[in-house]
């Protein structure tokens, strides 16, 4: 994904590559400029900035934000929180140990699909023995047409294949604790990515800081330390099924439009579940996300 940088006499256009509580770092061509942020700006946003002339340091303020291609949001009934903007792909790290649950994967696939972002799976720790259950899990998602790339971030195995896939994409990596997200980000960026408190010239920030790194021209990776599991209670109940494309397509053949896909007469989803055209775990997660998760709060 390429953004064109337009220079004006006072206003410049750049991309937010690092974000703190109320300040951020904006990259304008090869120049990094500390900026005063405005409301609802996140890493990945394309913004217009105006330099502060009376400042003793190189400093600017954001005056506007360009229209976004996509927005990844932590959806919750109480409060929705934007995570990153203009992402093209979400890489879901999956490992045999520690075990990555179907629920974790399906939540991220749901959020990706409903956010208009392409999900793919990174099978990390390929150098270690995998259980049959884990192999079946990987096959399930591969059979659904989701790109699966097997690597070992620690041993740097198959990273070239991953880098080739990432070419000209803006991505964010997500994974459970211990899945190797920091190790992989470090390997891809050739930087030592730490999960502890980060620091910049203005002092140490103990809160999570999202940062965008450039792997090569046109390829960016966003590291957001606080992004692991996520609530989905902010999504509309009727939209949840769209996060399960194979179930959604079959639901179009249900006899009644208001079918709940439980014990309804003429339900195409249940009929396909019985003959194993729909995976039972995927179906159970669909029902759980729609009826249990959204009933909370």
Q: What is the pLDDT, as a whole number, of residue 200?
A: 42
- Strand-pair partners of 249: none
Per-residue pLDDT of the chain (297 residues; tens, 9 = 90+): 544 444 444 789 999 999 887 789 999 988 999 999 888 899 999 999 998 876 667 889 999 999 999 999 887 776 788 889 999 999 999 999 999 999 999 999 999 999 999 999 999 999 998 999 999 999 999 999 999 999 999 999 999 999 999 999 999 999 998 999 999 999 999 888 764 433 344 433 334 478 999 998 889 999 887 677 777 888 899 999 999 999 999 999 999 999 999 989 999 999 999 999 999 999 999 999 999 866 554
Q: How far is CA 296 from the centre of its chain?
A: 23
Based on DSSP, count helices (H) and strands (E) in the chain, helices before strands: 7, 15
> What is the pLDDT at residue 205?
37
- Give the three-class secondary structure for 173: strand
Domain extents in the chain? 11-65, 71-223, 237-295
Contacts of 254 (CB under 8 A, 6+ apart): 261, 264, 266, 267, 268, 269
For the chain, give percent helix, strand, coil, nearest 5.
Answer: 25, 30, 45
From residue 85, alpha-carbon distances to 43, 51, 73, 146, 246 in Å are 6, 23, 9, 22, 27
How confident is the model at residue 8, as a pLDDT?
41
Q: What is the pLDDT of residue 249?
A: 97
What is the sign of the dihedral through the CA atoms of 125, 129, 130 and 131? negative
Tell me which of 3.40.920.10, 3.40.50.720, 3.40.50.2300, 3.40.50.300 is the CATH number of domain 71-223: 3.40.50.300
| Phi then psi dihedrals of residue 143, to 5 deg | -65, -25
**H or E element that contains 127:** none
Please report the pLDDT score of residue 232 as a whole number.
83
237-295 has the same fold as 71-223: no
DSSP string spanning 178-243? TS-HHHHHHHHHTS---SS-EEETTEEE-S--EEEEEEETTEEEEE-TT-SS--BTTS-GGGGGGG
Question: Residue 204 has what pLDDT?
Answer: 39
Instruction: Give the Cα separation of 34 and 39 in Å (integer).
Output: 16
Strands 203-205 and 46-51: unpaired
pLDDT of residue 198: 38
Nearest to 166 by CA among 187, 140, 145, 193: 187
Superfamily of 11-65 according to CATH:
Nucleic acid-binding proteins (2.40.50.140)
**CATH top-level class for 237-295?**
mainly alpha
pLDDT of 4 reads: 43
- Alpha-carbon span 111 to 240, nearest angstrom: 9
């Amino acid at each position: 994904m390429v953004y064109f940088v337009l220079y004006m006499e006072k206003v410049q256009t750049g991309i937010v590559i690092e974000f703190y509580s109320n300040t951020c770092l904006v990259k304008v061509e090869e120049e990094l400029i500390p900026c005063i942020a405005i409301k609802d700006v996140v890493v990945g946003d394309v913004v217009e900035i105006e330099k502060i002339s009376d400042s003793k340091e190189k400093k600017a303020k954001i005056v506007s934000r360009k229209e976004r291609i996509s927005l990844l949001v932590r959806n919750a009934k109480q409060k929705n929180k934007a995570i990153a903007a203009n992402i093209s792909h979400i890489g879901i790290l999956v490992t045999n140990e520690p075990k990555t649950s179907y629920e974790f994967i399906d939540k991220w696939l749901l959020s990706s699909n409903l956010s208009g972002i392409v999900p793919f799976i990174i099978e990390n720790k390929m150098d270690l023995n995998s259980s049959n259950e884990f192999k079946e899990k990987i096959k399930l998602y591969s059979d659904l047409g989701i790109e699966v790339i097997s690597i070992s971030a620690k041993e740097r195995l198959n990273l070239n294949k991953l880098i080739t896939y990432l070419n000209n994409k803006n991505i964010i990596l997500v994974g459970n604790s211990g899945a190797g997200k920091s190790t992989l980000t470090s390997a891809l960026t050739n930087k030592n990515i730490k999960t502890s408190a980060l620091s910049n010239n203005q002092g140490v920030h103990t809160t999570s800081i999202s940062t965008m790194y450039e792997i090569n021209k046109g390829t960016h990776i966003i590291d957001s330390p606080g992004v692991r599991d996520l609530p989905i209670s902010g999504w509309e109940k009727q939209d949840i099924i769209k996060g399960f494309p194979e179930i959604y397509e079959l639901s179009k053949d249900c006899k009644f439009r208001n079918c709940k896909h439980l014990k309804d007469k003429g339900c195409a989803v249940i009929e396909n579940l019985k003959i194993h055209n729909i995976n039972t775990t995927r179906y159970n997660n669909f029902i759980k996300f729609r009826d249990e998760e959204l009933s909370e709060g």
